[in-house]
Chain A
Amino acid sequence: MDKARRSGILFLLPAALLLGTFAIYPVIQALWMSLTDAELLTPGFNWVGFENFKTLLSDPDFYTSLKATGLFVGGSVLLQYLMGMAGALVLHTGRMRSVRLFRSVLILPYTLSELVVGILWLRILDSEFGVANALLYCAGAPPQRWLYEWAMPAVVVVNMWWGTTFSLLLFEASLKGIPEEWYESAKVDGAGSWYQFRHITLPALKYVTFLDLVYITLFTINTFGIIFVLTFGGPGHETEVLGLFMWKQAFRDYNLGYGAAISVVLFTINIVLTAIYLKLFGRQVLVEERF
């Protein structure tokens, strides 16, 4: 047993080293920097205690940003989960030869960088020359100013278009791990497809669903490349999610300390949401159930 523990630590060590250097240190740095007035490009800083957080909490733009983040993340996570699950189920059950072709097409959006995704959709949604309005024109409908009147739905849909691949592949790989016999015996008992999905598939996917939700949530909270290109937070502050708000403060206005405080708030939101998922799914998703 002692030997097993030693090899256990040995197996964890490389990961600990890599993460310690390049992943944990930046988190710690963000934490202490949020307590300073550090500026980008200006050396030196002063400790200011919780001043940055006080400023943040009295900044009306912060609350607008919080609301935008809620809508963007809520919408994206929900849609990506549903689309990913639906896609994975049909790809998994489909026995047609064409399934491979469909799967290959479905992963294509995620081979583009965020920047290109943003610019491509900027062309598509352009109010003068965009193909979205051309389609409306063909249908005889009036053109729309997509990135003004429909800004939030537009960025959510584009984000879903790009990011669903993650849930899709994750769920499909996991569906392949469910033993066929489980379904066989349910079918013998006369269970319908919905019953099988509800009582075999979903419970078997519990761990991976938790993983998927935690990850797509943190992906969506922490990135803003698509919004940066499509709306830059506009119109007004409607789509200015916290990540972009942070970027504007830290990198456009050089307030590194204030930006770090926003990062710490984002970090906290991520932790709280993970805790909520953990509560929903039960603590045992983290440790193997032994039976």
Chain B
Amino acid sequence: MENTREDILNLCILIPLTGFALLPLVWLFLISLRPEEWLYRFPPPLWIKPTLKHYAFAVTEIGILGAVGNSLLITVTSLVVNLVVGIPAAYVLAKGQLRFTAVIMLGIIATQMIPGMAALVPLFQITKYLGLINTRIGVALILAARTTPLTIWILKGFFEKIPGSIIEAAQVDGLREAQTIYKVVLPLAWPGIIAAGLFVFMMTWIDFLVPLTLLFDPSKMPFTVALYQVVGDPISGTNYGALFAASILGSLPVVLLFLVFQRYFVQGLTAGAVKG
């Protein structure tokens, strides 16, 4: 009885919240499926025969599939760099008992405190100097640097909750520090890693300014930049249908990824292995 009441209460919050998230997206979806004349009628008619022409345009004219491939390349590379660099750092900051942990933590986040826009000019110079200009790996590294502080901060919180006794036991068993992370710490901090990883993936996936500034080859552009082609065309204006159709196609990989990883995310920490 108590439980059903709680469920109803939860639904009372969830339904409006989800509705608010969903309704604008329904609108986005409808615009992507309808001829553009439809946009300029008031009030908007409820039913119009849907068309797939915007999706066809997105694939053939915008080249959204190739652009999504570039996005995948950049984002996956960036995420791997982020985790490889971030996990050991977070581990040391959580468990290493360094003297300057607080200062380092604040320093790490302070690197994110100037506007991304202001960083573009120096980033352009650095990537040029390193010979990484107009390369997807350059973009991936810059975005990894942008997201690593977040990974370190999230994972430090999760790593701290792992009792020191478990880590000591692992080391008594003769595991070296790197093995301890891999075999003991990572499995216990799984939800944190999934959460951090998902977030980094999403942030990197939708970034627009860095690739716009550092890539010149249209064939290397991620989907966010490819979309920009149909925005504010001087002759025909913004092609909303094509923009939204391409944008939906561009969001699909993230949504699929989320659906796959949500399972691990929901599982929670191994019961009993963790204290607060």
Q: Given contacts A93-B6, A131-B27, A176-B191, is CB(A22)–CB(B85) below 8 Å? A: no
Stretch of A48-56, A146-154, A215-223 that contacts chain B: A215-223
Q: How many residues of B contact A (CB 8 A)?
A: 110
B113 at the interface (CB under 8 A from A): yes
Q: If the complex has contacts A22-B123, A129-B39, A222-B116, are A111 and B205 also in contact, measured as CB distance less than 8 A?
A: yes
Residue ID in chain A nearest B28 by CB atoms: A120
By the criterion CB–CB under 8 Å, are B25 and A108 in contact?
Answer: yes
Q: Are B13 and A90 in contact (CB under 8 A)?
A: yes
Please give, as numbers and ranges, the residues of chain A lying within 8 Å of B172 by CB-CB distance: none
Instruction: Check if A218 sits within 8 Å of B262, measured CB to CB.
Output: no
User: Which residues of B sit under 8 angstroms from A218, Cβ to Cβ?
Assistant: 109, 112-113
| B111 within 8 Å of A (CB atoms) | yes
Q: Is the CB of A26 within 8 A of B85?
A: no
A176→B160 CA distance, assembly (Å) = 15
> In the complex the two chains form, is B206's CB within 8 Å of A112's CB?
yes
CB of B114 within 8 A of CB of A222, answer: yes
Most A CB contacts (10 A, CB to CB) among B43, B160, B244, B255 go to B43
Known A-B contacts A25-B126, A120-B28; A215 and B150 likewise in contact (beta carbons under 8 Å): yes
Q: Is A19 an interface residue (CB 8 A)?
A: yes
For A177, give its contact among B85, B227, B268 (CB under 8 Å). Answer: B268
Contact B101 A286 (CB under 8 A): yes
Given known A-B contacts A21-B126, A176-B191, A250 and B118 have beta carbons under 8 A apart:
yes
The reply to whether A169 and B96 contact each other, CB–CB distance below 8 Å, is no
Query: Does B272 sit within 8 A of A, measured CB to CB?
Result: yes
**Taking the nearest CB of chain A, how far is it from the CB of B262, in angstroms?**
6
- Residue pair A134, B116 in contact (C-beta under 8 Å): no
Complex Cα spacing A15 to B42, Å = 54
Q: Which residues of B contact A251 (CB under 8 A)?
A: 117
Q: Check B7–A211 contact: CB distance below 8 A.
A: no
Residues of A within 8 A of B109 (CB): 214, 218, 274
**Bound CA–CA A215/B31 (angstroms):** 33
Residue ID in chain B nearest A10 by CB atoms: B88
Assess whether B24 is in contact with A161, with CB atoms less than 8 Å apart.
yes
Give the contacts of A90-118 with B (CB-CB under 8 A): 90-91, 93-96, 100, 102-116
- Residue interface bits A272-288, CB-to-B below 8 A is 1, else 0: 00100000000100111
Q: Please, could you name 29 A-B residue pairs with CB atoms under 8 Å apart, sorted by A?
A: A12-B104, A14-B88, A19-B108, A21-B126, A22-B126, A23-B111, A26-B119, A27-B114, A30-B114, A86-B17, A87-B14, A94-B7, A112-B28, A115-B231, A119-B238, A120-B24, A124-B24, A124-B27, A129-B44, A134-B42, A166-B199, A177-B161, A177-B268, A178-B276, A179-B274, A215-B150, A218-B113, A267-B110, A287-B101
Q: Interface residues, chain A, CB within 8 Å of chain B?
A: 4-5, 7-8, 11-12, 14-15, 18-19, 21-27, 29-30, 40, 83, 86-87, 90-91, 93-96, 100, 102-116, 119-121, 123-124, 128-129, 131, 133-134, 137-138, 161, 165-166, 169-170, 172-174, 176-180, 182, 204, 207-208, 211, 214-215, 218, 221-223, 225, 243, 246-247, 250-251, 256, 259-260, 263-264, 266-267, 270-271, 274, 283, 286-288
Of all A-B residue pairs in the complex, the 10 with the closest CB atoms, nearest first, are A22-B145, A173-B195, A26-B119, A176-B268, A11-B88, A263-B118, A270-B113, A23-B111, A15-B89, A29-B122
